[in-house]
Structure 1
Amino acid sequence: MTSRREQAADLQGWMTEQRRLLHQHPEVGLDLPDTHAHIDDVLRTCGLAPERHEQSGLTVALTGTDPDGSTRVLRADMDALPITERSGVDFASTRPGAMHACGHDLHMAMLLGAARAFADQPPRRDVVLAFQPGEESDRGALKVLEHDNLELGDDASAFAIHVHATQPAHTVHFTRDVFMAYGDWFQVDFSGPGGHAATPEDAGNPVEAAARFVLGAQALAADLAGEEHVVATVTELQIGNAVNVISASGRLRGTIRSLSAGQRSRLITGLEEAAAEAASASRVEAAFAFTEGYPAVRNDPDYVDRMVARFGEVLGADALTPMPRPSMVIEDFAYFLQKWSGAMVYLGAQVPGHHSFNHSDDVVYDESVLATGATMLLEAGDGF
């Protein structure tokens, strides 16, 4: 019988073709008609019968040769980012304003490779392959979890890979608990009388308030990070439209990242207080709004121990690296791991000489990791 690693290696060229085709035709969000259609076509060509729901992905149930009563769920995300690509690769996005900058094209290609391998040599345990749209900001995981194929018992497990553009290719990075952070969003609206730019003493100034708030948010995060790493980042600022007018209003938005519910709560409270203080000092009013984002991705320690033991045998112990601390990235695979035990890992995919991280408009990935990722998915499907 062909080993899973050999199967994956034999499919490297085919997975590369799949990845490049998907990379050239990215779609953003939940509505991914072309991507859904392509995945559906490939799976049916493999002799599989996917459950497909527009805007909520595709799943395929596979019966194991030696089932143990539980199911292994393997997941890949499908959506791209609203970015215009400038990576310079000869298979760049053909759609301005959309790019697979986070590597989801690689994730899909790996899982398609696993599907083709399982179609040829069935998994040892029962498996569901899940292709999910809307990971980036639409909580697509919640929609795909409604599939009939994912009406599973509590004893199921879930596994996913995320490529990492700045870690050495073929290295696997993991944690035994929190893998990725809680992620939430905030918005602050400043409003005041405004006025003439020549008489700032007579006006409230939302620009001053925003500047004070940004500094306050940075100070708050630095203070809380002494206990446990946190992030508070202002990413958007909209104030004013004339050089000689102090605007009467302004808005800023940003994100927070935290590793525990306690730090998350302290961040939210502290930012609201920082907004009020900045407004008072700048003679304006502040309205603070918080939007709950994604929960933390929390790996199961027992599952990780079994995973590390098996991947060490297959990939070599040197390929496995415990992470010194969780990633501050967020991922809605968290919802899978709230439902079942399992894990998500990073798979290094750095191209030598390139240092842009995921989500950059010039990011590139080493495609040779497709076989490594498919091997990991196949092993997870067979069961640790």
Structure 2
Amino acid sequence: MTVNRFIQIRRDLHQIPELGFQEWKTQRYLLDYLQTLPQDRLEIKVWKTGIFVKVKGTNPSRLIGYRADIDGLPIAEKTELPFSSTHEGAMHACGHDIHMSIGLGVLTHFVETEINDDLLFIFQPAEEGPGGAEPMMKSEMMQQWMPDEIYALHIAPEYPVGSIATKPGLLFANTSELFIDLKGKGGHAAYPHETKDMVVAAAHLTTQLQTIVARNVDPLDSAVVTIGKISGGTVQNIIAETARMEGTIRTLSAEAMQKVKKRIEALVKGIEFGFDCEAVIDYGSNYYQVNNDQAVTERFMSFMQEKEEVQLVVCKEAMTGEDFGYMLKEIPGLMFWLGVGSEYGLHHAKLNPNEEAITLAIEAITSYFYYLSDQGK
């Protein structure tokens, strides 16, 4: 079987996953590819490990943006694919290799075939953390090339190839990391009265945190507070002087996020008092909700509804996080799920998207951009 060039690009990129703001090989690969294209209608600007690429239209009335994220995850790959990651302990387990190949496919089409409007392709680093969209939005380059509309996709393993799923309004949740460090007093396990046990404190706090959603969030709203990791102590017969709790917060409204954080802080103060210890809270990376513009999304869905090769799905909002929300906060646009039919889901070491989705997405997006450009005459 002949592998088309954008599937091959995906496979090349899949072998070199890099973590946020470390995507130097990835950036180099993208820049090298861009240099193979005709340069007469291209402007390329580098921002940290990301890239802005402007494609000049023939009769522009607006600037249409398209964003593709480029970083990988700290996951050891277990797919056994012939093009598996060559970077130990790192993998494109969220499909950003697919996202990049689609972005390059759409970009290439409009370099080789004219369109009325100007297009801006944003290859964004650090989506998985610590977050590249918000600082990219504040960059001088983005201020110079601020799109009038902006679009992005995310692969969806649970949907079959051919599916495009989205909805107007809220699509992805507000998210925040959560790190809590507790410090007490260690000592011999035979003399607990002389210590301040942080394993016990962490256990109490974990239980208390689970009351926030049940008793402090409106039942008609939605929130998640999860502690995914607890570490503390040294050996079995020494009482732990320190403990660290790591988790995540997810809410369907910005107001609920603030309410949850306020309650976490109150509970932590109670633990400090009750266990005579010190506590430090770090919220790490925070992502704003992905809120699809109503009019833009309805127009997009209406267009995709008419395409025979696309099965449009009106989906529900999800508790997943995406820093594309910072771009949608300032620019009308939308994000959609792209079906890739994988047995294993996002962030799984065996995620294996169906590559047929790449060609379908390139064709769907290019045809939609032509439609937008014609509408803008």
* TM norm structure 2: 0.90
Tell me how far apart the structure 2 counterparts of residues 382 and 137 of structure 1 sit (CA, whole Å): 33
State whether residues 156 and 341 of structure 2, in contact with CA within 8 Å, keep that contact through their aligned partners in structure 1. yes
Q: Say if 1:74 and 1:374 are closer, same or farther in 2 by CA, change over 3 A.
A: same
What residue in structure 2 maps to residue 165 of structure 1? 157
Q: Does 1:243 align with 2:231?
A: no
Q: Deviations over 1:99-129 (max 9, x none)?
A: 1111000001001111221122222422111
User: Partner of 1:51 in structure 2?
Assistant: 44
| Distance change >3 Å, CA 16–CA 108, structure 1 → 2 | same
Per-residue deviation, residues 200-247 of structure 1 (Å, max 9, x unmatched): 355322111211222222232244262312111113322001110111
Q: Following the alignment from structure 1 to structure 2, what is the Cα–Cα distance between the partners of residues 66 and 88?
A: 48
Q: Which residue of 1 aligns with 2:31?
A: 40
Residue 345 of structure 2 is aligned to residue 357 of structure 1: yes
Q: Distance in 2 between matches of 1:307 and 1:256?
A: 31
**Structure 1 residues 290 and 149, CA gap change in structure 2 (3 angstroms):** closer
Q: Which residue identity lines up with residue 194 of structure 1 in the other structure?
A: G
Matches within 5 A, 1:52-201: 52-53=45-46, 55-67=48-60, 69-145=61-137, 146=139, 148=141, 151-152=144-145, 156-201=148-193
**TM-score normalised by length of structure 1:** 0.88
Q: Distance in 1 between matches of 2:367 and 2:64?
A: 10
Tell me how far 1:66 sits from its aligned partner: 4.5
Give the whole-Å Cα distance in 1 for the aligned partners of 2:143 and 2:11: 29
Counterpart for residue 356 of structure 2: 368
Equivalent residues of 1:297, 1:331 under 8 A apart: yes
Amino acid across the alignment from 2:85: S
Equivalents in 1 of 2:14, 2:66: separation in Å? 21
Matched to 2:369, the amino acid is G
Change (3 A) 1:346 1:248: same
**Alpha-carbon offset, residue 19 of structure 1:** 0.3
Give the counterpart letter for 1:88 in structure 2: E
Q: Does residue 217 of structure 1 match 2:205?
A: no
CA shift digits 1:42-95 (9 cap, x unpaired): 22212143423252422222233453x211101111111122111222210011
Q: Which of residues 241, 246, 252 is equivalent to 2:245?
A: 252
- Which of 9, 25, 38 is residue 18 of structure 1 equivalent to? 9
What is the deviation of 1:250? Answer: 1.3
Structure 1, 183-192 or 199-208: larger mean CA deviation: 199-208
Structure-2 residue corresponding to 1:3: none
The one-letter amino acid of 1:227's match is L
2:257 is aligned to 264
Partner AA of 1:376 in structure 2: A
| SS at structure 2 position matched to 1:207 | helix
Tell me whether 1:27 sits opposite 2:18 in the alignment. yes
Check the 8 A contact 2:185/2:196 in 1, yes or no: yes
Among 284, 303, 321, which residue is 2:296 paired with? Answer: 303
- Deviation digits for residues 123-182 of structure 1, max 9, x if unmatched? 2422111111121113222454436376245x7000001101222222112121111111
Q: Which moved more, 1:338-347 or 1:249-258?
A: 249-258
Q: Which runs of 5+ in 2 are unaligned?
A: 373-377
1:379 pairs, out of 349, 355, 367, with 367
User: What is the number of residues matched between the two proteins?
Assistant: 367
Q: Which moved more, 1:341-350 or 1:111-120?
A: 111-120
Identity of aligned residues (%): 28
Task: Tell me the residue number matched to 1:290.
Answer: 283
5+ residue gaps, structure 1, are: 1-10
Distance (whole Å) between structure 2 residues aligned to residue 243 and residue 19 of structure 1 = 48
Whole-angstrom distance in 2 between the partners of 1:111 and 1:333: 15
C-alpha separation between the residues in 2 aligned to 1:190 and 1:120? 58
Deviates more, 1:73-82 or 1:129-138: 129-138
Q: Which amino acid aligns with 2:299?
A: R
The one of 276, 280, 285 aligned to 2:269: 276
What residue number does 1:5 align with?
Answer: none
Q: Describe the SS at the equivalent of 2:126.
A: coil
Q: 1:226 to 1:152 in 2, by over 3 A?
A: same
In structure 2, how many angstroms separate the alpha carbons of the residues matched to 1:215 and 1:112? Answer: 47
